[in-house]
Structures are given as C-alpha cells and as structure tokens.
Amino acid sequence: MKMRKAISAVLAGVLALSALPISAMSAGAEGAYAPGDVDMDGVITGHDAAVVSRYLHVDNTLLNADQLALADVNGDGVVDQADADWIHENEEVELGACDISVPNPTSLFYQLV
Ligand SMILES: [Ca+2]
Ligand SMILES: [Ca+2]
C-alpha cells in the first residue's frame, strides 16, 4: 500500500513537471520574439522575409500558429505580401550579411536557394 502511494506521488510529480515546459512555451512565444521574427532566432533578417515569402508563394503550411502571429506585423489578421514587405524593409541583418563563422544550416539553405 505504501509503495503504491509513493509511486503515484512520483508519477504526479513527473506529470506536473512534464506539463510545465509546454505551457511555458505556448504562453511565451509571442512575447519572446519581436513581430517579424518569424523563424524565432531573436533577430529580424532577410531569412524572416524569405520564410514569409515562401509561405505565401510556395508552401502555405510552412508556418505554425505562433509564427503566423509573428508574421502578421501590421496586425490585420492575415499574413500577406504587405507583411513580407515590412519584414524585408525592417530587417536588422540583410540576407547574406550573416556571420558565416557561426553557420546556421537553415539560413544557409535559404541563401543558397
Ligand atoms: Ca529571425
Ligand atoms: Ca498582415
């Protein structure tokens, strides 16, 4: 009997801990990244504009709900070319100007494509 209680207490603790990161992530995604930082790397770059363009013209399943919220920079409820243009005009690091001593495979992929 005691063993059962101990096991269920441990299981309850494990469940509580495993639920934490999920709720923290879903609550923090929008606040943690600047509008336009669609790839969520902490900086608005040409890659963010490229991701939105790719979403608009190639693959409309590319972005998840958090990314769609970040991509809608003018807040009109839809992600369209106006948002991509704004991101492109406001990028902090231009495409191709990234520090290649710290290679980011995703950025490199989009620069090569
Ligand atoms: Ca970014
Ligand atoms: Ca928009």
- pTM of the full predicted structure? 0.59
38 lies in the same domain as 52: yes
Contact 43, 37 (CB under 8 A): yes
Total domains present in the chain? 2
83 lies in the same domain as 42: yes
Interval between CA 51 and ligand 1 midpoint (Å): 9
Q: What is the pLDDT of residues 36-66, one digit of tens each?
A: 999 999 999 999 999 999 999 999 999 999 9
62 lies in the same domain as 89: yes
Residue 92 identity (one-letter amino acid): E
Give the mean pLDDT of 21-31: 48
Interval between CA 15 and ligand 1 midpoint (Å): 33
Q: CB-based contacts of 56: which residues, under 8 Å, 6+ apart?
A: 79, 80, 81, 84
93 lies in the same domain as 47: yes
